[in-house]
């Protein structure tokens, strides 16, 4: 079966946390794109009380084997990994695979979900999809020939009900397995000396065990009303093909340089795909993008002129629609009809940074009341 969801939750981590609290799983592997993301996400999950660890290409073999051994034995429940680090991983306990970062190529997706439901078991695969990544979802569905529909994220009520249930289970477990004699005497002495009901003492101990953290989630605030934006007319800036592109200074003083990437209209790319891929792989913000011009076989993108060397190297190896973008500074082209403002050049003006918050068509889904969505697929046994 296939299912999916749309949510107003803006942060993927909050959405993932709800799933982890409500969904019943034995062991889980969560895929992200970068080495740093594995460490960051594993650390944040541990801070929220989950048993999680990271593996990536920088982790030494001995530590990798130790971590996988913990996953197999049940000492560890959640593994955060990159595609490369997870190669050859075979753990029967893995019941869930989470595509926290959607892969840029369908082959990686197929390899990822193949790691669940081993040894004849069933398993679930979850896929988070941001609005600007819908084209990647469609590519996956087209390749796998199996549509992924949306499912509802657990609500605040679902999470709170699960927390209450687990709280009761933990009390029962302690009553059945712990030596209570010492603490029973301490509680009885306290009750006698302070004339406090046992229920109040138990409640105080429960609060103490939370270490200042809230036990139940607060109700979700109502969805904010959509804000109608005032139309703003600004002159469109056109890319000039007549020579090397010089730097341009934006409204906030940001200096832009024009970069060329090896994907264009024939690859069916849209500005949202370009922004999403470059932002994710290069750690850039939306304000770091200027004009985008999509040409037949390549595109021109304005990015900060002072991009660090390591960022440029990472972006050169980035793929959009399965194609290496081969990022490089634009050196222009011989002057011709196209450079005089032909139809091809107009694309740059439509998706310019100078149009304020309107952004590009590919990012319309980033409005607050839409948020991330994820899809869920149950692989075949």
Contact 121, 95 (CB under 8 A): yes
Phi, psi of 122 (to 5 degrees): -90, 160
Instruction: Please count the CA atoms within 13 angstroms of the CA of 192 that sit on its side-chain side.
Output: 6
pTM of structure: 0.57
Where does CATH 3.40.50.300 sit in the chain? 2-155+369-377
* The pLDDT of residue 211: 81
Q: Which letter, b or e, does each residue of 305-328 get, where b requires 16 or more Cβ atoms within 10 Å of its Cβ?
A: bebeeebeebbeebebbebebebe
Q: How confident is the model at residue 361, as a pLDDT?
A: 43
Torsion (CA) 205, 206, 208, 212 in degrees, nearest 10: -160
Closest CA to 352 of 229, 231, 227, 239: 239
> pLDDT value at position 54?
97
For residue 49, the number of C-alpha atoms closer than 13 Å in the C-beta half-sphere is 9
Residues of the chain with CATH 3.30.70.330: 248-351
**Which DSSP category does 94 fall into?**
E
Exposure on the CB side of residue 10, measured as CA atoms within 13 A: 8
- pLDDT score for 186: 94
Looking at residue 365, its pLDDT comes to 42
How big is the chain, counted in residues? 381
Give mean pLDDT in consecutive 10-residue pieces for the chain, a chain of 381 residues.
47 91 94 93 94 94 95 96 89 91 86 70 82 83 83 90 93 87 92 93 91 84 60 47 57 79 91 86 83 93 87 88 90 48 36 39 42 52 47
C-alpha angle with apex 293: 287 to 295, nearest 5 degrees? Answer: 150
Query: Please, are residues 92 and 120 in contact by the beta-carbon 8 Å criterion?
Result: no
Distance CA 272, CA 282 (A): 15
276, 372 in Cβ contact below 8 A? no
Q: Could you give the CA distance from residue 16 to residue 80 in angstroms, rounded to a whole number?
A: 13
Say how far apart CA 64 and CA 312 lie, in whole Å. 29
- CATH architecture for the domain at 248-351: 2-Layer Sandwich (3.30)
Please identify, in words, the CATH class of the domain defined by 2-155+369-377.
Answer: alpha beta
Q: Could you tell me whether strands 299-304 and 292-294 are parallel, antiparallel, or unpaired per DSSP bridges? A: antiparallel
What Cα–Cα distance (Å) separates residue 223 from each residue in 204, 226, 364, 368?
A: 35, 9, 17, 8
299 phi, psi to nearest 5 deg: -140, 155
Q: What's the Rg (C-alpha) of the chain? A: 26
Q: What is the spatial distance between Cα 310 and Cα 316, in angstroms, rounded to a whole number? A: 10
List beta partners, residue 80.
Answer: 30, 54
For residue 130, the model assigns a pLDDT of 81
């Amino acid at each position: 079966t296939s299912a999916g969801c749309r949510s107003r939750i803006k942060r993927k981590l909050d959405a993932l946390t709800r799933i982890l609290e409500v969904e019943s799983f034995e062991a889980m592997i969560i895929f992200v794109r970068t080495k740093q993301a594995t460490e960051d996400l594993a650390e944040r999950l541990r801070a929220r009380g989950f048993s999680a660890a990271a593996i990536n290409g920088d982790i030494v073999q001995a530590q990798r084997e130790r971590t996988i051994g913990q996953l197999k034995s049940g000492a560890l429940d959640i593994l955060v990994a990159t595609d490369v680090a997870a190669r050859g991983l075979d753990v029967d306990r893995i019941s869930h695979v989470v595509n926290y970062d959607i892969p840029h190529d369908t082959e990686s997706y197929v390899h990822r979900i193949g790691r669940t439901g081993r040894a004849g078991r069933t398993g679930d695969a979850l896929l988070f999809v941001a609005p600007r990544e819908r084209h990647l979802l469609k590519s996956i569905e087209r390749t796998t020939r199996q549509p992924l529909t949306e499912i509802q994220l657990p609500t605040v009520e679902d999470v709170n009900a699960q927390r209450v249930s687990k709280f009761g289970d933990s009390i029962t477990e302690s009553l059945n397995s712990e030596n209570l004699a010492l603490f029973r005497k301490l509680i009885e002495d306290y009750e006698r000396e302070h004339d406090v009901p046992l229920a109040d003492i138990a409640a105080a101990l429960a609060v103490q065990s939370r270490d200042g953290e809230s036990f139940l989630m607060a109700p979700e605030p109502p969805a904010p009303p959509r804000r109608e934006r005032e139309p703003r007319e600004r002159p469109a800036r056109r890319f000039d093909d007549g020579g090397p592109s010089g730097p341009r200074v934006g409204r906030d003083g940001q200096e832009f340089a024009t970069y060329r990437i090896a994907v264009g209209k024939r690859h069916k790319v849209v500005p949202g795909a370009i922004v999403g891929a470059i932002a994710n792989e290069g750690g850039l913000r939306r304000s770091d993008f200027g004009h985008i011009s999509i040409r037949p076989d390549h595109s021109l993108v304005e990015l900060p002129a002072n991009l660090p060397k390591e960022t440029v190297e990472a972006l050169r190896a980035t793929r959009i629609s399965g194609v290496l973008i081969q990022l490089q500074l634009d050196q222009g082209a011989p002057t011709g009809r196209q450079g005089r403002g032909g139809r091809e050049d107009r694309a740059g003006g439509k998706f310019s940074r100078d149009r304020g918050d309107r952004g590009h068509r590919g990012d319309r889904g980033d409005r607050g009341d839409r948020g991330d969505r994820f899809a869920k697929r149950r692989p075949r046994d």
